[in-house]
């Protein structure tokens, strides 16, 4: 709290504050509360304030004191009242989810068969269970873009091995993402290799304040990935952002911290990889002269902090049949981050639907992103809006050509 200048720069950019107008929901308000010992970890007000954060990082990006607000919020969540027992925030989320089943429609994006598949096969330790809030039984169908596989020329070159971290979403939920990454990489001369023993990246556990569980995931991934050398391709923005900060999980453990930092140094984000390798003017045979109107949603993890903003657009721009759409006032958060959609479903729905209305007014043919959480939120958004606009991962879009 002592380092907060109380300047209010964080208020203007906070998506939650824009909806609620409550000072307590700004970074300034949260930091103030977090540092009052007699309030810390106690009471409904504490729960309310620290559940209402997207962990988007917009505040830290403008903070003149460089305060890591997400870290403050995660630490506060770890201190949720002991009445919930261990991992109090996760139990708080479960209680919230059961109280708001109508707004927790994440499984609607999967369809009933997909939901049953996830229930049976998604590992209990996967952070996706938290993200999906597996309490909702009502499910719908996913609109499908009429696409066919792109005919990248297969020159039969020997492929260079490249380690791939697909993340839970591409591994279990939307395997077309992983398939598309394999296909794109093969066309560019790389054979993706997924090491044995990978775990969930652990971001959902950390977002819930469960640092010990997040460390457990990190150790498993470090052990699996340190068997190899060279770059590690990551296709999920959330996973990538979290893997980049693995070292922070082991502040008091020099051995694991150095292992974590060694892993982070090898990471290669998918859109950066594609920006480096995709040839210009690909897929000119597609679309019969009509450009496909694409809205790219840039995940908060990339817009703030990591600043991976241009690369996905450059990769999309390689295809002359794609027309990139932009919002007049710039990109906005989709309302899914940091388990916010469970902790504050009403506000998440307002943020989601407000953004969706603006984007759908641009008349896109397809919406794309690289974050599994954002993709799920967008699929729900278009369904709630009664739209049939497909939502595809960047790899899926770039490995296909519209008929």
Q: Is residue 151 exposed (0-12), middle (13-18) or buried (19+ Cβ within 10 Å)?
A: exposed
Nearer to ligand SF4, 67 or 366 (CB): 67
Nearer to ligand SF4, 29 or 364 (CB): 29
CB of 7 to ligand SF4, least distance (A): 4
Nearer to ligand SF4, 64 or 279 (CB): 64
Query: Residue 401 pairs with which residues in a beta bridge?
Result: 148
Nearer to ligand SF4, 12 or 362 (CB): 12
237-247 burial, b for 16+ CB within 10 Å, e for fewer? bbbbbbbbbbb
The answer to whether the CB of 368 falls within 8 A of the CB of 295 is: yes
- Please report where in the chains the tokens 């720069």 appear, as a residue: 9
CB of 232 to ligand SF4, least distance (A): 27
CB of 382 to ligand SF4, least distance (A): 23
CB of 69 to ligand SF4, least distance (A): 5
CB of 270 to ligand SF4, least distance (A): 24
CB of 355 to ligand SF4, least distance (A): 14
Nearer to ligand SF4, 43 or 64 (CB): 64
Can you give the binding site for ligand SF4, defined by CB under 6 A? Answer: 4-10, 13-16, 27-28, 30-31, 53-59, 62-65, 67, 69-70
Phi and psi at residue 372, to the nearest 5°? -65, -40
Give the torsion sign (CA, 25, 27, 32, 36).
positive
Nearer to ligand SF4, 33 or 104 (CB): 33
SS3 content of the chain, % helix, strand, coil (to 5): 55, 10, 40
Residue 215 has which token pair? Answer: 């460390």
Residue 160 has which token pair? Answer: 């260079």
The answer to whether the CB of 397 falls within 8 A of the CB of 294 is: yes
């Amino acid at each position: 709290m002592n380092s907060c200048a109380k300047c209010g720069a964080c208020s203007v950019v906070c998506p939650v504050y824009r909806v609620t107008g409550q000072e307590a929901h700004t970074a300034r308000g949260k930091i103030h509360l977090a540092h009052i010992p007699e309030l810390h970890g106690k009471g409904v007000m504490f729960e309310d304030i620290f559940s209402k954060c997207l962990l988007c990082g917009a505040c830290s990006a403008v903070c003149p004191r460089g305060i890591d607000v997400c870290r403050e919020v995660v630490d506060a969540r770890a201190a949720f009242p002991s009445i919930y027992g261990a991992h109090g925030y996760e139990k708080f989320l479960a209680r919230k989810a059961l109280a708001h089943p109508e707004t927790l429609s994440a499984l609607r994006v999967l369809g009933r068969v997909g939901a049953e598949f996830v229930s049976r096969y998604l590992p209990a330790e996967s952070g996706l269970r938290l993200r999906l809030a597996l309490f909702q039984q009502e499910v719908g169908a996913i609109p499908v873009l009429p696409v066919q596989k792109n005919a990248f020329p297969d020159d039969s070159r020997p492929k260079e091995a490249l380690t791939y971290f697909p993340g839970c979403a591409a591994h279990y939920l939307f395997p077309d993402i992983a398939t598309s990454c394999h296909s794109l990489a093969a066309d560019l001369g790389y054979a993706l290799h997924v090491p044995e023993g990978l775990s969930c990246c652990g971001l959902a556990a950390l977002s819930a304040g469960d640092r010990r569980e997040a460390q457990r995931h990190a150790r498993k991934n470090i052990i699996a990935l340190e068997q190899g050398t060279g770059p590690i391709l990551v296709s999920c923005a959330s996973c990538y952002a979290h893997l980049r900060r693995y070292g922070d999980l082991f502040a008091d453990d020099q051995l694991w911290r150095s292992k974590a930092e060694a892993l982070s140094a090898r990471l290669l984000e998918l859109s950066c990889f594609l920006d480096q390798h995709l040839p210009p003017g690909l897929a000119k045979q597609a679309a019969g002269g009509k450009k496909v109107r694409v809205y790219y949603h840039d995940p908060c993890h990339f817009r703030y902090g990591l600043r991976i903003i241009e690369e996905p657009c450059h990769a999309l721009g390689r295809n002359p049949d794609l027309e990139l759409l932009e919002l007049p006032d710039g990109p906005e958060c989709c309302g899914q981050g940091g388990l916010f959609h469970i902790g504050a479903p009403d506000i998440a729905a307002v943020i989601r639907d407000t953004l969706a209305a603006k984007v759908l007014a641009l008349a896109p043919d397809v919406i794309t992103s690289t974050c599994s959480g954002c993709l799920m939120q967008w699929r729900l958004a278009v369904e709630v809006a009664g739209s049939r606009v497909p939502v595809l991962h960047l790899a899926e879009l770039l490995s296909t050509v519209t008929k």
